[in-house]
Chains A and B, each alone.
Chain A
Amino acid sequence: MSRELSTVLDHIEKIAELDLDGVPPTTHVIEVENVMRPDEPRPSWPVEHVLEPSPEATEAGFRVPSPGQ
């Protein structure tokens, strides 16, 4: 994999060839104006529903091993 990554990185180095002084970086490709909406509480899914796809859950959350074991 290191050989493959090197080939790709060598190609990526092409961007170092360009003179980009004073060019602003793209932050969003389409010009948009921000729009605010009222911050109103809306109903959300019940906890047990959100836990359904979990590989392992308790009644209150996702179960994971201890970070310290």
Chain B
Amino acid sequence: MSDDAVKLSAAEAIERIRGGDLAPDELFSAYRQRIEDHNDELGAFLWTAPGAAGGTDGPLAGVPLAVKDLFCTEGVPTTAGSRILEGHEPLYTATAVRRLAAAGAPMIGKTNMDEFAMGSSNENSGYGIVRNPWDPERVPGGSSGGSAAAVAAGLAPWAIGTDTGGSIRQPAALCGIVGLKPTYGAISRYGMVAFASSLDQCGPLTRTVTDAALLLTELVGHDPCDSTSLGLPEPVRLPSRTDLEGLRFGVPNELNSSAEGVEEGVGRAFDRTLDVIRDLGGEVVDVALPHAPHGIAAYYVIAPAEASSNLARYDGVRFGHRAGNGTLLDLYEQTREEGFGAEVKRRIMLGTFALSAGYYEAYYGRAQRVRTKIADDFRTAFADCDLIVTPTSPTVAFRLGERTDNPLAMYLSDYCTVPMSLAGIPAISIPAGLAQPADGSGPDRGLPVGLQIAGPAFSENGILDAAHALERAIGFDVTGAMP
């Protein structure tokens, strides 16, 4: 098996398998070999499957899937990137993973991530860093950094991740692939280790927009095990649009190429895609999201508050790591002291502070009101446009270690993605080109820039269609970083 098969998009691989030109087990073995050859350097996988489990006759034809280690998998180690869950083997499998396996996408491995999905660089993993395939001295983004790096480096044809404030879209942007965060509730969260339950959403990381639609088709749906899951009101369509005639694209004044923190190279690539939109017949209009600049502040109250409650379950009693040999209180304290990393402790403290008596209204209460304002802003903006476009990340991939001592700088990586999460609306990131970081220190060819396309709740089909037309016109080479 040559490396050619691993350069195929998943849709192309499915077509070859159906035509009898490619056997699913050959494809699985080819990817297993790629993981063996490159994972030591990249750090993308924490566990790899010995063989393909499940049938290959479903719509996904046996094309293997990488799964973020936040998804519970029965009898397979599930750590959420945390030492507190080292060696933990869940008793059940997440609905998302089960649905994809049943559709013919067997799990090839579990991918590295920021601990409990808290981070934007994958440097908060309890199991080591992940390197960006475009430049090994740079971060892949996070928290779904392992999934993004695996897909970009050709160690998996596609992957699933989770997005709470940008954890699918930002790593997809930094690694030059496609990442979709669906409408809140489109996909079941059952078996997804909870971080901030009012924001967490599963979604695909793929090399093409069509591949994202293929995974989304199988992922969406109501699940009796998650009462917040809704599915989508209409079936997912495979995107086919090649022009943007009749569509209005809103560019928010607060999140455009001259917004605070947006690198010059990223801004230029973004403005070029606005020209592409016009060339394809789309209209570009200015819109306002006046509360978007307060998104990060509101998010870093709401998400840590929910996390401080969700993470109370890691106490060393029922599963995972246990430490301490004195009283029950020793057991709790020692277990959590040893098991959690610095960022998780930071967020638990922030969250408990924001929820404490006397501060609750000033922090949590106000943040939930800001959230209402941000959702209202989007509703107003969508009266004047069909879709909203922004850069996905204000910067290209930054250097390893560059932001680890400055949590706020790290949090601002999600400046453009957090508002959509707070509003619960769907958004995709697609590669928009290559650019240099602000200090010009990137590799000669540059580093990937992501374009974010957001729409109203349940507008996944419209987003996928527009993304497909743009992907085709931009012509980005997603295999450009494969070793």
Which residues of A approach B to under 8 Å, CB–CB? 1, 4-5, 7-9, 11-18, 20, 23-30, 32, 37, 45, 49-50, 52-56, 62, 64-69
Contact = CB atoms under 8 A, between A and B. Distances in A.
CB-based closest 4 A-B pairs: A29-B424, A25-B368, A55-B322, A53-B319
B99 interface: no
A53 B86 CA distance: 12
Contacts of B183: 30
A16 B362 contact: yes
A17 B325 CA distance: 48
A54 B321 CA distance: 9
A25 B362 CA distance: 12
A67 B368 CA distance: 37
Given A30-B424, A55-B320, A64 B294 contact: no
A50 B90 CA distance: 10
Given A23-B372, A26-B371, A29-B423, A12 B297 contact: yes
Most B C-beta atoms less than 10 A away, residue of A12, A14, A15, A54: A12
15 contacts: A4-B346, A5-B346, A9-B350, A15-B366, A20-B370, A23-B369, A27-B368, A29-B423, A29-B424, A30-B424, A53-B88, A56-B322, A64-B317, A65-B327, A65-B330
Interface in B279-316: 291, 293-294, 296-298, 300-301, 316
B369 A24 contact: yes
A25 to B, nearest CB: 3
B319 A54 contact: yes
Contacts of B322: 55-56
Contacts of B370: 15, 18, 20
B294 A18 contact: yes
A53 B375 contact: no
Given A5-B350, A8-B411, A14 B294 contact: yes
Contacts of B321: 55
B481 interface: no
Given A14-B297, A28-B228, A67-B329, 11 more contacts: A5-B346, A5-B349, A8-B300, A8-B411, A9-B350, A11-B296, A15-B363, A25-B372, A29-B422, A29-B423, A64-B331
A67 B91 contact: no
Nearest to A45: B91
Contacts of B362: 16
Majority-rule SS of B interface residues:
helix
Given A53-B319, A69-B326, A15 B408 contact: no
Interface of B: 88-91, 183-185, 198, 224, 228, 230, 291, 293-294, 296-298, 300-301, 316-322, 324-331, 342, 345-346, 349-350, 362-363, 365-373, 375, 405-408, 411, 422-424, 457
A15 B367 contact: yes
B18 to A, nearest CB: 36
Most A C-beta atoms less than 10 A away, residue of B296, B316, B317, B367: B317
Contact of B185 (A32, A50, A55, A67): A32
A53 B325 CA distance: 20
A25 B330 CA distance: 38
A7 B330 contact: no
Contacts of B297: 11-15
Given A65-B326, A69-B327, A29 B184 contact: yes
Given A52-B91, A55-B316, A12 B407 contact: no
B301 A15 contact: yes
A23 B298 CA distance: 14
A45 B320 CA distance: 19
Contacts of B371: 25-26, 29
Given A30-B183, A53-B88, A65 B331 contact: yes
A1 B294 contact: no
Most B C-beta atoms less than 10 A away, residue of A7, A29, A69: A29
A14 B331 CA distance: 38
Nearest to A51: B318
Nearest to A26: B371
B90 A7 contact: no
Contacts of A62: 317-318
Contact of B317 (A1, A27, A54, A66): A54
A11 B230 contact: no
